[in-house]
Structure 1
Amino acid sequence: MGPTLNAETADPQIEIFNDRAAVTQAIAQNLLRVVTEVLGEQELAHVSLTGGGAGIATLEAVADLLRDGSGTGPEWSRVHFWWGDERLLPRGEADRNETQAREALLDYLVTEHGLPETNIHAMPTSEEAAHPAAGAKMYAQELERCAPEGGIPGPHGALNMPEIDVMLLGVGPDGHINSLFPGKESLSVVGQSTTGEDDAPQRLGPPMRVTLTFDAVHTAKRVWTAVTGQDKADAAVRAFAAEPDVSEVPAANARGRHQTVWHLDRAAAEQLNQA
């Protein structure tokens, strides 16, 4: 049976901005606000990061807000960072999401704002895992290490992972999120937090990936997408079809438990009725 929309998650809200800079600025401001609010209610906050142009630009926008003083940062020592997916490459490779996120924000938080290195939970490198299945198992163990006793409720039983307060996602022109690509077996993996992908589309670079599953995405309290550029317009309109086919447009299933927000620039939203 193929993947279907999770009816227990929040229906998506659409917010449209003039351009990518406006999209990333808005998400950055909201991220600082929400993480600060979360830490007012609980001991730790967990944020899942994404790669891609808009995803990394969002992290750069957070750093800019902190540097110029227009954004009030939370107590970073209480924030943990995770990833939605990663390319199985050597540590420090430019194509790794971790490398780009460190350059955009995380290294700055470590050196200037007291973020402990132990709060950065990078997915395995190719030196640590020879194959995506091994990397997925390793990251599942890391998630479990920070999980509450008994795990957290998932669509197909408890998952041993922390509850993600904000999950940032990008959307590919083909409608993929994380490394959950159209037509792949990984779309139907249930009851576990991670899975491997050894055959990502060639046009997207290295084929071997580790990714969170749909089940893991659906445990997040808030899922926020950053979708920019005319090349994303077709994926966006297909994701918002009356009855989207998740196996063809995985982004349709990018949904959080309490909140789902799609942030689009006008180019990406041009085919939507709301644009």
Structure 2
Amino acid sequence: MSLSPGDRVSAELTGSGRPAADVVIEPDAERLARAVAEAVVARLAAAQAVHGSASLVVTGGGMGIAVLERIAGLAAEPVRETVDWTAVDIWWGDERFVPADDDERNEKQARAALLDVVGVPAERVHAMPPSDGPFAEPEDAAAWYAGQLADAAPEGRMLPRFDVLLLGMGPEGHVASIFPASPAVRDDRPVVAVRDCPKPPPTRVSLGLPAINNAEEVWLLVAGGGKAPAVAQSLGGADPADLPAAGVHGRRATRWLLDAEAAAELPSGG
């Protein structure tokens, strides 16, 4: 029997030695985006209550941008938790190395969906460089972004606190711009240049797995039946070299937030 919408279970990652991942299933992509948006607002508000500020790593793609749009909508609603957007740092999990005004830019989409709407201050928006910026090569852009992370980190560390890191997942199991069997899978640098991606545009800059796995919480947002096999295999303990999504986890929590179609191949009980 398969898991059903509304189910919330813990899935032990086979042989991983890591805490179990939480699996939450919503009936469809629309309700998934709304639920994730509400959860992000609650988590950021909680982080601000403890630290005075919060940090969010955003992702692109249809589901990632849909979540940002719904977060912006919540800012106008009388919800229980509220976020001070002037005290939220925004980072990116990956970016397409294209010109700044290209519609493919995750930054451009995120600004239109959320950042410009809620007024995140410019100094708290940590965008990855575009191809028409100061760096002609993605390797130099990646090194610069690693430096930005280090500058924002506590003394003695190379990475700042990420309260929530959002990730989408491709049907072949890629996350951020880390694709199966690519050099980025085994790269131990916090930020990597990625060339010859199988999905256009081919040149990108991405957080590496060490930076992703430094987040307090990693949330994977997955919708659609075409991704169901990769979801099941990742939660079943697949080799991250084959399915990079299987290699991501948060320091405190890992959450798979799925619609019913994406969860279709999960067995009962995860």
- Tell whether the structures are fold-level matches, with TM greater than 0.5: yes
1:238 and 1:30 map into 2 onto residues whose CA distance is 26
Which structure 2 residues correspond to residues 165-244 of structure 1 after superposition, within 5 A?
165-190=163-188, 192-201=189-198, 204-241=199-236, 243-244=237-238
Write out per-residue CA displacement over residues 131-155 of structure 1, whole angstroms, 9 at most, x where no aligned residue.
Answer: 221111011111112111111xxxx
1:216 and 1:101 map into 2 onto residues whose CA distance is 21
How big is the alpha-carbon RMSD for the aligned residues of Structure 1 and Structure 2? 1.6
- How many angstroms does 1:197 deviate by? 0.4
Q: What corresponds to 1:47 in structure 2?
A: 56
Which structure 2 residues correspond to residues 49-64 of structure 1 after superposition, within 5 A?
49-64=58-73
- How many angstroms does 1:34 deviate by? 1.0
Distance 1:261 1:72, change over 3 A: same
Amino acid at match of 2:121: P
2:34 and 2:60 map into 1 onto residues whose CA distance is 16
Q: Is the 8 A contact 2:90 2:126 kept in 1?
A: yes
- How many angstroms does 1:116 deviate by? 0.8
> Does residue 1:263 correspond to 2:257, yes or no?
yes
Q: Is the 8 A contact 2:239 2:247 kept in 1?
A: no
Q: What corresponds to 1:119 in structure 2?
A: 124
Q: Is the 8 A contact 1:66 1:72 kept in 2?
A: no
> Does residue 1:132 correspond to 2:132, yes or no?
no
The answer for unaligned runs of 5 or more in structure 2 is: 1-13
Distance 1:10 1:135, change over 3 A: farther
Match of 1:23 among 32, 40, 65: 32
2:25 and 2:209 map into 1 onto residues whose CA distance is 25
- How many angstroms does 1:57 deviate by? 0.4
1:71 and 1:53 map into 2 onto residues whose CA distance is 27
Write out per-residue CA displacement over residues 219-272 of structure 1, whole angstroms, 9 at most, x where no aligned residue.
Answer: 10000111001111121111122x411111100112101000001101111111
Q: Is the 8 A contact 1:9 1:256 kept in 2?
A: no
Q: Is the 8 A contact 1:29 1:71 kept in 2?
A: no
- How many angstroms does 1:75 deviate by? 1.4
The answer for unaligned runs of 5 or more in structure 1 is: 152-159
- How many angstroms does 1:8 deviate by? 6.6
1:162 and 1:148 map into 2 onto residues whose CA distance is 6
Amino acid at match of 1:178: A
Amino acid at match of 1:127: D
Secondary structure at the counterpart of residue 40 of structure 1: helix
Amino acid at match of 1:25: R
Q: Is the 8 A contact 1:181 1:200 kept in 2?
A: yes
Q: TM-score, length-normalised on structure 1?
A: 0.89
Distance 1:71 1:49, change over 3 A: farther
Amino acid at match of 1:230: G
Q: Is the 8 A contact 1:147 1:162 kept in 2?
A: yes
Aligned length: 255
1:219 and 1:125 map into 2 onto residues whose CA distance is 25
Amino acid at match of 2:100: R
Q: Percent identity?
A: 36
Q: Is the 8 A contact 2:75 2:118 kept in 1?
A: no
Which structure 2 residues correspond to residues 59-78 of structure 1 after superposition, within 5 A?
59-70=68-79, 72-78=81-87
Q: Is the 8 A contact 1:228 1:267 kept in 2?
A: yes
1:46 and 1:218 map into 2 onto residues whose CA distance is 15
Q: Is the 8 A contact 1:48 1:83 kept in 2?
A: yes
2:23 and 2:110 map into 1 onto residues whose CA distance is 26
Amino acid at match of 1:258: R
